[in-house]
């Protein structure tokens, strides 16, 4: 593939795609100097991705989303029907219950795996036969924006790659990160308490492999360009099979260097930039989202300069929002909101308040005080939750995440459980759906699934408490019973989604400003890009009725204002908000 030279409309020289890729590779592997080896590797990567050297650079400021977009997060087998592949059952459920309000689906790892419910991948190029096959994946991707996990930091010790590593054979010979017990690893940041290094016996002697997460999840060695090539092959395969959004799992830990934290290193960021270059040239509406469960400012760094992730998980939102609703005080949430920069066009926040893991506490570091965190943890324990820990440099363990179903996390306040659980739960989603960004709703939040204590006890894994598996017939019965918690939650969230997707002021990149309405009323203002629609989003986050003084939010008197949710007229002095009631006060109701 020869290197091409191009001229822009101004006539200046613009190198071809292979040159741009070679530049990125040189930062990763050659100290920034483009060598013949880097040029040759660039050509190989373009061949793998089936890219031409003269392809134009995609516009990084194009938004591949709007207010109609919302994703559901689910395991491939969260809904099951006897005698049917779970991926087929999942598509059936989406088509019959969520079509029109859910535009995308994140199917958590669907490859063969050995542990961690899919995040210890045995073979990236196969679909777990217990879920279905690639045709089932393609069928979902043909109708919904499909997010797939690129488990990029590590793979399973049961993989063929690792077996070959132990035998010193290809492919796999130098695919895994190793270190010496004598290396300075004291600064390495990890989310687990197990030993970092695992001793294994290889054909050429004892090796110590690097295991950020568990000893079954062995970290890949990106110092070896062959590992990068294998990942690019996997990306191409996923694109061919309907994946449009690539979730880079645990990518912050990717590059290892003894004597450092081995977290968020420069070369890690450059690998993200390289993958973006390749992916967006292969499909101009494809997206990268980085899964970086780390403190807030570090997380935001994965936007780069509009040249890394299209989206970053808004990891600080879940702990701050849950804290707000169980304390009845929005101070910390409001303080954080005011510090968040508006994402530039071409990038967006991925908002979520529940996931398959838990409520991460690292993203709350520096945002919630230690006392506030301890109160939150003790409250969640009273509501049936568990706590997972990580190891610190001094050998101490620190809470890393709270494992609990969100509906149970919000069953009460710090004073205990009360009768406002469903209202509080719907309020949490109303707040999330109003915020700038793209919403992601975990399936067990969408249908109000409670703590699965039986699954937790049978697996011994804290995270299993929020990974229930529904039988389709049982779930349909619950959703058909209008008196059930599940039906009330589902209809409430779907109604909010239906309203949201019609409002131009709820575009993920529309203007947002935080309102100052006291500790019990959390509010923010959204405005559409054409400035024609304004929405004042206000939620009573307490268990007492609160008056909203409409004069405090500066409604323009010449316009008619109404609440999009209740339909109530807002052209008056004040509104009484019941406990956990949300209003979306708008000067117009868009019907896009």
Indicate which residues carry an active-site annotation.
Answer: 249
| Angle formed by the axes of helices 331-339 and 317-327, nearest 10° | 150
- Alpha-carbon gap, residue 479 to 80, rounded angstroms: 15
DSSP structure string for 295-343 = -HHHHHGGGTTTTS-SEEE-TTHHHHHHHHHHHT--HHHHHHHHHPPPP
Q: In the block, which residue shows the tokens 């977009």?
A: 69
- Alpha-carbon gap, residue 198 to 529, rounded angstroms: 53
Rounded to whole angstroms, what are the CA distances from 21 to 27, 34, 349, 495?
Answer: 10, 10, 27, 45
Neighbours of 195 (CB within 10 A): 13
Secondary structure (H, E, C), 455-499: HHHHHCCHHHHHCCCEEHHHHHHHHHCCCCHHHHHHHHHHHHHHH
Terminal alpha carbon distance of the chain = 45
CA dihedral of residues 337, 340, 346, 351 (deg, nearest 10): -40
Tokens of 530: 């054409």
Q: Which helix (H) or strand (E) holds 193?
A: none
- Alpha-carbon gap, residue 130 to 260, rounded angstroms: 41
- Alpha-carbon gap, residue 153 to 248, rounded angstroms: 9
- Which of 355, 538, 319 lies closest to 446 in space, CA to CA? 355
- Alpha-carbon gap, residue 500 to 101, rounded angstroms: 9
Cis check for the bond before 171: say yes or no (omega within 30 of 0).
yes
- The residues near 139 (Cβ < 8 Å, ≥ 6 apart) are 87, 88, 91, 242
Contact 290, 332 (CB under 8 A): no
Q: Quick one: DSSP state of residue 96?
A: I
Residue 416's region, left for phi above 0, alpha for psi from -120 to 50, else beta, is left
- Composition of the chain by helix, strand, coil, percent to 5: 35, 20, 45
């Amino acid at each position: 593939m020869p290197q091409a030279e191009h001229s822009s409309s101004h006539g200046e020289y613009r190198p071809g795609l292979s040159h741009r890729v070679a530049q990125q590779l040189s930062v990763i592997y050659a100290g920034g100097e483009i060598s013949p080896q880097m040029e040759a590797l660039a050509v190989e990567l373009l061949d793998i991705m089936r890219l031409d050297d003269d392809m134009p650079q995609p516009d990084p400021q194009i938004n591949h989303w709007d207010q109609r977009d919302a994703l559901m997060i689910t395991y491939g087998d969260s809904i099951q029907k006897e005698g049917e592949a779970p991926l087929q059952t999942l598509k059936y459920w989406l088509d019959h219950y969520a079509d029109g309000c859910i535009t995308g689906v994140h199917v958590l790892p669907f490859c063969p795996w050995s542990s961690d419910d899919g995040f210890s991948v045995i073979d990236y190029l196969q679909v777990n036969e217990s879920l279905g096959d690639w045709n089932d994946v393609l069928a979902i991707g043909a109708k919904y924006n499909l997010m797939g996990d690129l488990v990029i930091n590590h793979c399973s010790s049961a993989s063929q790659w690792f077996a070959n590593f132990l035998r010193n054979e290809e492919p796999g010979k130098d695919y895994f990160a190793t270190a010496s017990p004598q290396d300075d690893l004291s600064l390495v940041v990890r989310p687990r308490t197990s030993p970092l290094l695992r001793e294994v016996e290889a054909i050429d002697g004892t090796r110590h492999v690097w295991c950020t997460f568990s000893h079954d999840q062995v970290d890949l060695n990106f110092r070896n360009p062959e590992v990068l090539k294998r990942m690019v092959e996997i990306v191409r395969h996923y694109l061919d099979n309907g994946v449009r959004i690539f979730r880079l799992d645990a990518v912050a830990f990717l590059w290892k260097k003894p004597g450092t934290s081995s977290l968020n290193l420069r070369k890690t960021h450059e690998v993200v930039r390289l993958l973006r270059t390749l992916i967006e040239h292969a499909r101009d509406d494809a997206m990268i989202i980085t899964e970086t469960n780390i403190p807030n400012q570090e997380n935001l760094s994965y936007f780069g300069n509009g040249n890394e992730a299209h989206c970053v998980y808004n990891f600080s939102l879940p702990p701050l929002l849950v804290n707000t609703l169980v304390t009845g005080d929005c101070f910390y949430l409001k303080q954080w909101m005011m510090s968040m920069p508006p994402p530039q066009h071409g990038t967006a926040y991925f908002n979520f308040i529940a996931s398959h893991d838990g409520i991460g506490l690292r993203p709350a570091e520096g945002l919630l005080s230690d006392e506030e965190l301890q109160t939150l943890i003790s409250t969640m324990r009273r509501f049936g939750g568990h706590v997972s820990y990580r190891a610190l440099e001094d050998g101490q363990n620190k809470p890393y995440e709270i494992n609990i179903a969100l509906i149970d996390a919000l069953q009460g306040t710090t004073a205990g459980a009360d009768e406002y659980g469903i209202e509080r739960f719907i309020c949490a989603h109303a707040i999330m759906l109003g915020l700038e960004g793209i919403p992601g709703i975990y399936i067990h939040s969408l249908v109000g699934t409670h703590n699965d204590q039986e699954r937790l006890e049978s697996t011994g894994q804290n995270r299993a408490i929020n990974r229930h598996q529904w039988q389709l017939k049982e779930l349909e019965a619950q959703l058909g019973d209008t008196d059930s918690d599940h039906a009330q939650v589902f209809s409430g969230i779907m109604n909010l989604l239906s309203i949201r997707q019609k409002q131009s002021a709820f575009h993920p990149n529309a203007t947002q400003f935080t309102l100052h309405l006291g500790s019990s009323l959390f509010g923010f203002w959204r405005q559409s890009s054409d400035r024609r629609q304004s929405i004042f989003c206000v939620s009573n986050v307490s268990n007492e009725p609160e008056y909203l003084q409409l004069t405090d939010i500066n409604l323009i008197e010449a316009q008619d204002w109404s609440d999009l949710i209740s339909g109530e007229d807002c052209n008056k002095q004040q509104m009484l908000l019941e406990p956990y009631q949300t209003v979306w006060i708008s000067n117009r109701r868009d019907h896009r």
